[in-house]
């Protein structure tokens, strides 16, 4: 029960993150870098959820990401459908490997995982677009647009943890199991 509610909550969070990302303006101080919140929210969910629930969340997140970033230029799709699903399954599997540490109360590994995951996600998109266009143009603005969102995600993870953690105890592990007390 807790895994199902957690997975559905993560999916709602990913959807809300996409809406928020679209509403937030680019940060001009960081050369036009934008907030990319989805890998951060997915990473937190991947560490908190059991593996099957994480896979469902990875499928949802990857599919929604592919649909959000579907980019067709000259009749050619630049970011292929399905690549984000594969990315989030691999990324979630790595994050899920640290779940025992998270369950013991060590939530801080979400910070470096979110930073590195956001960098990897944006670099994957850049590489796919470069391969489709058959040319590699890498300048300072592209470097800022890959590195800055990862660092911003790392700064926002503690806020996400502070917002989500109080709700974790509200959902029982097994609501149909009766608890008996020994007096």
**What would the pLDDT profile of 89-131 be if each residue is shown by its tens digit?**
999 999 999 888 888 888 888 899 999 999 999 999 888 888 8
Question: What is the arithmetic mean of pLDDT over 17-38?
Answer: 87
pTM: 0.84
| pLDDT greater than 70 at residue 169 | no
The answer as to whether 182 is a domain residue is no
| pLDDT greater than 70 at residue 17 | yes
- Give residue 183's pLDDT: 46
The CATH number of the domain where 108 resides is what? 1.10.1760
- Give residue 176's pLDDT: 41
The answer as to whether 118 is a domain residue is yes
The answer as to whether 94 is a domain residue is yes
How distant is the alpha carbon of residue 178 from its chain centre? 36
The answer as to whether 29 is a domain residue is yes
Task: Tell me the pLDDT band of 81, cut-offs 50, 70 and 90.
Answer: confident
- As for how many domains the chain has, the answer is 1
Pairing type for strands 76-77 and 72-73 reads: antiparallel
The answer as to whether 180 is a domain residue is no
The answer as to whether 7 is a domain residue is yes
| pLDDT greater than 60 at residue 182 | no
The answer as to whether 179 is a domain residue is no
Domain around 83: 2-170
The answer as to whether 181 is a domain residue is no
The helix/strand/coil state of 72 is strand
Q: Is 130 exposed, middle or buried (0-12, 13-18, 19+ CB in 10 A)?
A: middle
């Amino acid at each position: 029960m807790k895994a199902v509610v957690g997975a559905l909550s993560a999916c709602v969070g990913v959807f809300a993150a996409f809406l928020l990302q679209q509403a937030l303006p680019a940060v001009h101080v960081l050369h036009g870098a934008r907030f990319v919140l989805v890998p951060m929210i997915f990473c937190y969910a991947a560490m908190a959820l059991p593996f099957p629930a994480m896979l469902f969340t990875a499928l949802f997140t990857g599919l929604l990401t592919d649909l959000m970033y579907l980019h067709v230029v000259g009749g050619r799709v630049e970011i292929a459908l399905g690549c984000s699903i594969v990315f989030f399954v691999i990324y979630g599997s790595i994050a899920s490997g640290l779940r025992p540490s998270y369950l013991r109360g060590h939530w801080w590994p979400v910070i470096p995982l979110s930073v590195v995951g956001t960098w990897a996600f944006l670099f994957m998109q850049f590489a796919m677009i470069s391969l489709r266009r058959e040319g590699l143009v890498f300048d300072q603005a592209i470097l800022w647009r890959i590195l800055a969102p990862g660092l911003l995600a790392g700064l926002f993870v503690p806020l996400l943890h502070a917002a989500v953690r109080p709700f974790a105890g509200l959902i029982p592990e097994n609501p149909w199991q009766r608890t008996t007390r020994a007096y």
